Amino acid sequence: MSATEPATDPRPLTGEPVSLDLLNTRWMAEGGRQDLLADPDGLRIWLASNGLDGRFPAGAAALEHVLLAREALAAAVDSPGDRAGIERVNAVLDHGRIRATLTAEGPGEEAEFEDPSWGAAWTAARDYLDLLRAAPDRIRRCAHDACILHFFDISRNGTRRWCSMAACGNRAKASRHYAKTREA
């Protein structure tokens, strides 16, 4: 990997909203649980995958803050309404603010941080608030028992159950089929 080009993102599910994408920096693989954010190189990959690499640093402090945000979001997503999860997300949000602006295109907003190393963490926490405003019932965890990935269900009828039909959905179907053939 060169200094200007991050390595390819190894995760099985990318492209989710930034808050859920942060949760998906941990996943299950054949070798067990994987963690993209085990070091600053992984943070660089995650920032690049979300278009945040030009805006926020990828140093040790930023990694620490992103890990705090990931734990806060995991608590909030896995136990909605839980006071501890809410407080943890709010603690991350305390490190930034939105400043209203007027641009040539009209009204706008600009995020501000006293310490730029909080930028990516704050952005993920803020994104979670946007998802809650849009459709909290569409924030989902994959229905496969062995999967720990999250997604925002954008299907028309809102019935998506799997992070990926090709992976977890097919595994579940194969398991059901195998169970039926064993019963017969």
Interhelix angle for 40-49 vs 60-78, to 10°? 60
Q: How far apart are CA 128 and CA 144, in angstroms?
A: 23
Within-domain flag for 68: yes
Within-domain flag for 103: yes
Within-domain flag for 148: no
- What is the value of pTM for the model shown? 0.88
What's the pLDDT at 165?
80
What's the pLDDT at 180?
61
What's the pLDDT at 46?
98
Within-domain flag for 45: yes
Which CATH number do you get for residue 24?
1.10.3300.10
What's the pLDDT at 171?
64
Within-domain flag for 182: no
Residue 75: phi, psi to the nearest 5? -65, -40
Q: Please write down the long-range contacts of 129-133, taking CB distance under 8 Å and 24 or more positions apart.
A: 129/93, 130/17, 131/17, 131/19, 131/20
Within-domain flag for 87: yes
Within-domain flag for 165: no
What's the pLDDT at 153?
96
Q: Do 36 and 11 contact (CB within 8 A), yes or no?
A: yes
Q: Do 46 and 22 contact (CB within 8 A), yes or no?
A: yes
Which residues, in sequence order, are CB contacts of 25 under 8 Å at separation 6+? 11, 35, 36, 37, 42, 46, 70
Residues of the chain with pLDDT under 50: 2, 177
Domain count, the chain: 1
What's the pLDDT at 13?
95
Within-domain flag for 6: no
For residue 98, what are the domain limits?
18-137
What's the pLDDT at 177?
47
Which residues, in sequence order, are CB contacts of 147 under 8 Å at separation 6+? 27, 28, 141, 162, 163, 168
